[in-house]
Amino acid sequence: MNIYNTLTGRKEILKPLEPDHVRMYVCGVTVYDDCHLGHARSAIVFDVLKRYLVHQGYRVTYVRNFTDIDDKIIKRADQETRTWTEVVEQYIKAYYRDMDRLHVVIPDVEPRATDHMSEIIMLIADLLEKGVAYHVQGDVFYEVAAYQAYGRLSGRKEAELLAGARVEVDERKKHPMDFALWKASKPGEPSWESPWGKGRPGWHIECSAMSIRHLGRTFDIHGGGKDLIFPHHENEIAQSCSYTGQEFAQYWVHNGFVTIDQEKMSKSLGNFFTIAEIFDKASWKESVTAEALRYFLLSTHYRSDLNFSDHALSAAKSALDNLYDLFQRLEEDGACQEVDGVQALDAHLIKFDRAFEQSMDDDLNTPKTLAAFQRLRADVNKLGQVGLSKEGKTTTLERFRTCGKVLGLFQLPSKEWEFSSTLLEGSVNIDSSGSAGLETGQEDDEWIKQQIEKRYNARERKDFATADTIRQELASKGIVLEDRADGTTRWKR
RNA sequence: GGCGCCGUACCCAAGUGGCUAAGGGAGCAGUCUGCAAAACUGCGAUUCAGCGGUUCGAACCCGCUCGGCGCCUCCA
């Protein structure tokens, strides 16, 4: 497959160092707060990348870290007068809850910074020994001037990197861009013993230590949000390459932001939605919300920013409604005669397979992949008008499910899908004997169910006047009824 | 100030030198339906922010202008 490499600024053919094995490291989260949609996007992008690589037949070792020691964590703990470890445990748990709801695959390794102190210290000691870092009063800084290629990822030249325009420069640094490898701790702060006194690691060094430990000195893919390109990833490259004397990651992959009103979603702007919040606010059940969110996030190419809104989410939901509607019809034995168009169907499936592969190979062009699914939906629907054999239906559904799985989509039992454009929704199944049943979520639901039963009985008697009155009455309350081929009535509002 | 990204129909969004500018949402009309809904069919950008240039040929390349955003500070 082709993948865009930030390091070279172009799409490149992915050639893992070991032919059948892809090793990738993705910067995870700092666990000091609930994660928001932006974090979800990053998680889902790399989730899909992993799934696709596996689909391609690669063995994939996927490492995603937790930053579990950091100024923000300490600050949070202070504010809430509890220990930093309590903060960490709470938000790791919350992170798992969110990832689980989003059906994000669990990485193969999820290292924590604090479990790698000996590696971190060893790495810093080596950098000091090599003379590319210096020790000042318990702090250790990496000397950017020592690394010739500094700036190659972000495309910044050293002369341009005149810091101080926006930050106060630590006087003890030799150069404003030098960054901390080790920070001396103040009394009362969490600390680890080191040759330079008690302290904690700087932010960048942990990722070098953990990626090298779990993936080796040079590995294939290093990913994260594009806000990490500078300085985080630039610094990782400098320190890692200084340490190993060899290339760090071959391919650097960065996802775009989630925006609100075209502005980056961020803690500091306060314009963010946490994942938990979105699940709470959505009127659909969790699995449906998760799928709508995923569809929405994948409907824009991963490198572009994408703007979140209720409208955008419900557009994604509507697109999925059409797909799940087809899935239901494919599962029903229903009215279709066995006319078939085996050849026509095969042609469509072959066309789809090619489109799927091509779009995914092209730098994970998921919007194009979704278009391919929609195209297949339309083609199959057309054939369905004529009639599809049982076998054809099964094959088609299979294809949606197996290829959809690569995107983490279309895995819900089709009966569990909720068809509604907004608000809440339910469905009442009335079988031929007229008995009805399904869960209620709303006090109104029981009444609606009764109306549907009354209407059903009226229709049995061919009393269409009464049936229509009931339909209209419900319609006036914004409730739409759909009589389905299998004799059930579905409603939505 | 430095570096970079983006501007495609009512909305979202592919396409980045050459067949009719994908796909989705919303909308309108028709087929189907006892009536509906769903599905299907048809309609919808002579045009890709604007202006110049390169080219036989540009939404795609170059330049300028306008507009939006991002990184340079913790950030997915």
User: Which pLDDT belongs to residue A167?
Assistant: 54
| pLDDT > 50? residue A420 | yes
Q: Rounded to an integer, what distance in angstroms lies between the CA atom of residue A458 and that of residue A451?
A: 10
- Signed CA dihedral, A418, A422, A426, A428: sign only: negative
| A446 burial type by CB count under 10 A (0-12 exposed, 13-18 middle, 19+ buried) | exposed
Report the DSSP beta bridge partners of residue A403: none
Q: What sign for the dihedral angle of Cα A101, A104, A109, A111?
A: negative
ipTM value, please give it: 0.96
Q: What is the mean pLDDT of chain A?
A: 89
d(CA A122, CA A135): 14
The answer to whether the CB of A335 falls within 8 A of the CB of A485 is yes
Q: Read off the pLDDT of each residue in A33-49 and give the average, rounded to a whole number.
A: 97
Residue A48 in this model has a pLDDT that exceeds 80: yes
From the CA of A410, how many Å to the C1' of B74? 37
User: Which residues are bridge partners to A66 per DSSP?
Assistant: A29, A112
Confidence of residue A481 (pLDDT cuts 50, 70, 90): confident
Q: What is the pLDDT of residue A437?
A: 32
pLDDT grade for A233, boundaries at 50, 70 and 90: very high
Q: What is the pLDDT of residues A200-212, one digit of tens each?
A: 999 999 999 999 9
**Contact between the CB of A255 and strand B at under 7 Å:** yes
Q: What is the mean predicted confidence (pLDDT) over A384-407? A: 89
* Lowest-confidence segment of A78-87, A254-263, A363-372, A436-445 by average pLDDT: A436-445
Q: Write the pLDDT tens digit of every residue in A53-94.
A: 999 999 999 999 999 999 999 999 999 999 999 999 999 999
Separation of A357 CA and B55 C1' (Å): 34
A77 CA, B9 C1': Å apart: 51
Q: How far is the CA of A182 from the C1' of B47 (A)?
A: 57
Q: In angstroms, rounded to a whole number, what is the distance separating the alpha carbons of residues A46 and A483?
A: 41
Residues A176-189: what's their mean pLDDT?
Answer: 93
Please state the rounded mean pLDDT for residues A193-204. 96
Distance of CA A386 to the CA centre of its chain: 39
Write the DSSP assignment of A402-415 as a string of letters. HHHHHHT-S-S-GG
Question: What number is the average pLDDT over the span A465-493?
Answer: 81
**Residue of A316, A317, A325, A401 whose CA lies nearest to A367:** A316
Which amino acid, one-letter code, is at A141?
A: F
Percent of the residues in chain A that have a pLDDT greater than 70, as a whole number: 90
Q: How far apart are CA A430 and CA A413, in angstroms?
A: 19
Torsional sign, CA A13, A16, A20, A23? negative
What pLDDT, on a 0 to 100 scale, did the predictor assign at position A278?
95
Nucleotide nearest the Cα atom of A300 (by C1'): B13
Amino acid present at A283: S
What pLDDT does A428 receive?
37
Residues A11, A5 contacting (CB under 8 angstroms): yes
Tokens of A17: 């160092």
Report if CB A351 to strand B is under 7 Å.
no
Within 7 Å: CB of A481 and strand B? yes
More confident residue, A393 or A206: A206
- In this predicted structure, the answer to whether residue A180 has a pLDDT above a threshold of 60 is yes
Asked if A172 contacts A166 with a C-beta cutoff of 8 angstroms, the reply is: no
pLDDT, position A166? 52
Q: Is the pLDDT confidence value at A300 over 90?
A: yes
Q: Is the CB of A264 under 7 A from strand B?
A: yes
